[in-house]
Chains A and B, each alone.
Chain A
Amino acid sequence: GAVVSQHPSWVICKSGTSVKIECRSLDFQATTMFWYRQFPKQSLMLMATSNEGSKATYEQGVEKDKFLINHASLTLSTLTVTSAHPEDSSFYICSTTGQGAANSPLHFGNGTRLTVT
């Protein structure tokens, strides 16, 4: 069964509104969560790394004030796309290493398809 639950699986919103995406780890504590986005026909691009109880680290070119990440607990991380615009339409995916053991496989959520109209 899924070890990472991501919600919602898809969302359509109007330009200028905000959207929150939740990522929950099931049966384990996720001290670190990675957020990716994927545009059509492209590969996954890392957006940010969040650690429980501290500020997220954003990749170059990703606006931290636009993509708000909260990782307040060991089982929940959220990504909020603020003032969404059509160019933010993408497939957003979270992942975690689970127990955080060195070189353990990553577990991924099933993704959230965001469409901004």
Chain B
Amino acid sequence: DAKTTQPNSMESNEEEPVHLPCNHSTISGTDYIHWYRQLPSQGPEYVIHGLTSNVNNRMASLAIAEDRKSSTLILHRATLRDAAVYYCILRGRMGNTPLVFGKGTRLSVIA
């Protein structure tokens, strides 16, 4: 699986936007960029995914670089409940394959 690189940790103030970066320079043309997050003592939850175009949903936005070698997860207004470990994962188009988790970025939100 192509590897991703994320900062170990980031900090944000409550109500501020947060930009979580991810580098994936070895991404292949058919890899989707997935983001999941894991709140303390819980299983991961899906956040968003995309292929080439930027994506928006109720949780976040995903900005994908034109060369697809990097992406940024954007939380528009961080809340205390957004404090979690965020994982950026590449996933091929084949169905029923597991996710391979890296270390992710631990986001702290300050009130």
Contact = CB atoms under 8 A, between A and B. Distances in A.
B42 A102 contact: no
B93 A103 contact: yes
A34 B100 CA distance: 11
A6 B42 CA distance: 11
Interface string A74-107: 0000000000000000010101010011111111
A34 B98 contact: yes
A43 interface: yes
Interface stretch (B19-27, B64-72, B74-82, B101-109): B101-109
B46 A106 contact: yes
Contacts of B43: 4, 6, 93, 95, 108-111
Interface of B: 32, 34, 36, 38, 41-46, 49, 87, 91-96, 98-104
Nearest to B30: A103
A48 B32 CA distance: 23
A44 interface: yes
Contact of B100 (A46, A104, A109): A46
A108 B96 contact: no
Listed from nearest, the 7 A-B pairs whose CB atoms lie closest are A108-B43, A102-B95, A105-B46, A44-B101, A34-B98, A32-B96, A43-B101
